């Protein structure tokens, strides 16, 4: 029974892991960011009917945007507020690089915040940079045509950008493009998303733009960061597109050219997101129905960090607390499995004697269970009750941005990525060339746990191979490239389980005299 219970636990855990990857929003695998070409025809939003004078201004403005402009003599400028560094190009008044100081990460590509009309962009206009309180502006004025792009950052939330345009050129679209990086974990969550009545993800195919209409918010998404427009008085009309596999996903926001826009670009911190819109928290992959449990564990993890000052220590203490809370259940489970182990010889005799009479065999086996006061599900049910907690912890340690860039000890410099000690001169099948220590220790702990579990007479052949060989190897492969914070939890959990099994065995021996 103990073997079968462990097999059930193993299969369930694998299903949870596979669910994480099969149902996590994914994007097309891209290779490198590409700045949008100024000659490229940009997605166009159908304008609302305008007055004749405005239509004429629109035509003349389009002719103006199509002419040749001199190259800007101004150097790129950087706006730094100690939270992020935003480098901008006066040529077009667009983003060159937008990097978070704490994470050294950018998901906004060069050329973002270009404006366009009928496919013609302002990305070649030589703007002049003007510093402002809490922001800056780019201004162009040749006496006839005027364009001013203002970027102001919110006093209470510096991740929130207030963007506004003034001038006499007609624009109907704002363009932002997603930058790519080499972080596989970031790519795995990279589908654009938007929220109206519920959270939805957009599947973008090359050459096939997808439109999203929402009265709440929408934009780019990665595992740890968001870049989204927030609806104000008017609903958002977003068009997502990808030119080819070599370019990032582009986002075009249909716009009346006059209304101020709000753009949030920041980390997926639950407190930060909830202050803007409580529904933004749903962009953090903490699971569906188990999200409340995940949030409790995140709160506990952050509280322990505030006390200990190290997220690695916080994970260790949280693991110990969880194991202590479940000690009565797991102890009961181990006791039940030990009793099942003890009566196995008698059960096997019955199974052999009545192998041609299943009904009588089941009756006799149940009599043995009743005589020895053993519940055949007693070893399994207490463990199954822990799965919501296990899945919630899996989600938190896999997706909490609080662990990104946080070191533990020695070679573990970032709990959100694998704990690579060094690179091998060759690649190993399924594992690659990185030598990751914690997954190997976890593999060893699983082997040790198998050694502590007495083999049952009816566990032979494929079942024995599954439990003693395949399961530890498969878990090694699955967890080898997972975040070190997650693997640290499972390693410590295994170690505590080993100690608990040893305690249970001594407890039973003492009872037997």
What is the tens place of the pLDDT at every residue in 382-397? 667 778 888 899 899 9
pLDDT: which is higher, 56 or 506: 506
Pairing of strands 236-241, 210-214: antiparallel
- Write the pLDDT tens digit of every residue in 102-114: 887 888 888 898 8
Token pair of 231, please? 């609806």
Computed over every residue of the chain, the mean pLDDT equals 77
Q: What angle do CA 86, 311, 107 make, to 5 degrees?
A: 25
HSE of 173, CA atoms in CB hemisphere, 13 A:
25
Q: Among 10-24, 280-294, 329-343, where is mean pLDDT lowest?
A: 10-24
Q: How many CB atoms lie within 10 A of CB 355?
A: 9
pLDDT of residue 263: 92
pLDDT: which is higher, 33 or 197: 197
Q: What angle do CA 64, 66, 68 make, to 5 degrees?
A: 90
**Which sign, positive or negative, has the C-alpha torsion 470, 471, 472, 474?**
positive
What SS3 state is found at 217? strand
What is the mean pLDDT of the segment spanning 318-338? 82
- Write the pLDDT tens digit of every residue in 163-173: 888 888 888 88
Alpha helices in 239-326 (DSSP H): 270-276, 291-308, 311-325
Q: How many CB atoms lie within 10 A of CB 278?
A: 10
- Calpha distance 133→189 (Å, rounded): 35
- Calpha distance 413→312 (Å, rounded): 10
Q: How many CB atoms lie within 10 A of CB 327?
A: 13
pLDDT of residue 49: 47
Query: How many Å separate Cα 25 from the centre of its chain?
Result: 9
- Write the pLDDT tens digit of every residue in 457-496: 444 444 555 566 777 888 888 888 889 999 999 999 889 9
What is the mean pLDDT of the segment spanning 369-384? 69
CATH 2.70.98.90 domain locations along the chain: 52-283
pLDDT of residue 312: 93
Sorting pLDDT into bands at 50, 70 and 90, what band is 8? very low
pLDDT of residue 492: 93
- Calpha distance 97→498 (Å, rounded): 50
- Find out whether 71 and 176 touch, Cβ atoms under 8 Å: no
Question: Crossing angle, helix 327-353 and helix 2-22, to 10 degrees?
Answer: 120
Class for the domain spanning 52-283:
mainly beta
Residues near 202 by Cβ (< 8 Å), separated by ≥ 6?
191, 192, 193, 194, 210, 212, 240
Q: What pTM value is reported for the model? A: 0.76
In angstroms, how far is the first alpha carbon of the chain from the final one? 25
Backbone angles phi, psi at 374, to 5 degrees: -115, 130
Sorting pLDDT into bands at 50, 70 and 90, what band is 302? very high
- Calpha distance 465→446 (Å, rounded): 14
Element (H, E) at 505: helix 484-512
- Find out whether 195 and 279 touch, Cβ atoms under 8 Å: yes
Alpha helices in 354-453 (DSSP H): 358-371, 381-384, 387-399, 437-452
């Amino acid at each position: 029974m103990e073997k079968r219970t462990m097999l059930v636990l193993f299969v369930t855990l694998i299903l949870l892991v596979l669910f994480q990857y099969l149902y996590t929003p994914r994007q097309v695998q891209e290779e490198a960011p590409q700045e949008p070409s100024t000659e490229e025809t940009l997605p166009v939003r159908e304008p609302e009917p305008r007055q004749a004078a405005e239509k004429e201004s629109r035509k003349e403005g389009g002719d103006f945007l199509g002419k040749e402009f001199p190259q800007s003599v101004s150097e790129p400028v950087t706006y730094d507020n100690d939270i992020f560094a935003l480098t901008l190009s006066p040529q077009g008044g667009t983003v060159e690089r937008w990097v978070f100081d704490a994470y050294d990460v950018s998901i906004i590509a060069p050329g973002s915040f270009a404006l366009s009309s009928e496919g013609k962009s302002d990305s070649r206009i030589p703007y002049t940079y003007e510093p402002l309180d809490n922001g800056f502006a780019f201004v162009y004025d040749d006496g006839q045509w005027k364009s001013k792009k203002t970027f102001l950052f919110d006093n209470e939330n510096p991740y929130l950008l207030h963007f506004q345009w003034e001038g006499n050129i007609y624009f109907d679209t704002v363009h932002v493009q997603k930058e790519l990086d080499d972080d596989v974990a970031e790519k795995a969550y990279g589908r654009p998303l938007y929220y109206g009545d519920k959270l939805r993800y957009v599947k973008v195919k090359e050459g096939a733009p997808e439109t999203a209409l929402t009265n709440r918010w929408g934009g780019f998404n990665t595992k740890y960061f968001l870049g989204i427009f927030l609806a104000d008085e008017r609903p958002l009309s977003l068009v997502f597109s990808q030119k080819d596999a070599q370019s990032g996903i582009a986002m075009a926001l249909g716009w009346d050219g006059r209304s101020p826009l709000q753009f949030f670009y920041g980390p997926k911190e639950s407190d930060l997101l909830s202050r803007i819109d409580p529904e933004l928290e749903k962009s953090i992959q903490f699971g569906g129905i188990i999200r409340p449990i995940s949030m409790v564990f995140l709160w506990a993890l952050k509280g322990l960090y505030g006390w200990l000052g190290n997220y690695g220590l916080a994970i260790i203490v949280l693991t110990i607390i969880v194991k202590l809370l479940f000690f009565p259940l797991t102890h009961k489970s181990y006791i039940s499995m030990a009793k099942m182990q003890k009566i196995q010889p008698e059960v096997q005799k019955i199974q052999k004697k009545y192998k041609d009479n299943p009904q009588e065999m089941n009756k006799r086996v149940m009599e043995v269970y009743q005589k020895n006061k053993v519940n055949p599900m007693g070893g399994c049910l207490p463990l199954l009750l822990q799965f919501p907690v296990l899945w919630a912890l899996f989600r938190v340690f896999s997706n909490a941005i609080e662990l990104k860039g946080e070191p533990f000890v020695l070679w573990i410099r970032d709990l959100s990525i694998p704990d690579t000690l060094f690179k091998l001169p060759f690649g190993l099948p399924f594992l690659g060339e990185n030598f990751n220590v914690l997954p190997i220790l976890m593999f060893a702990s699983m082997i040790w746990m198998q050694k502590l579990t007495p083999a049952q007479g009816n566990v032979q052949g494929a079942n024995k191979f599954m439990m003693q060989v395949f399961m530890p190897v498969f878990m090694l492969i699955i967890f080898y490239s997972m975040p070190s914070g997650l693997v640290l939890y499972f390693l410590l959990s295994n170690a505590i389980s080993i100690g608990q099994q040893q305690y249970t065995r001594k407890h039973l021996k003492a009872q037997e005299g």
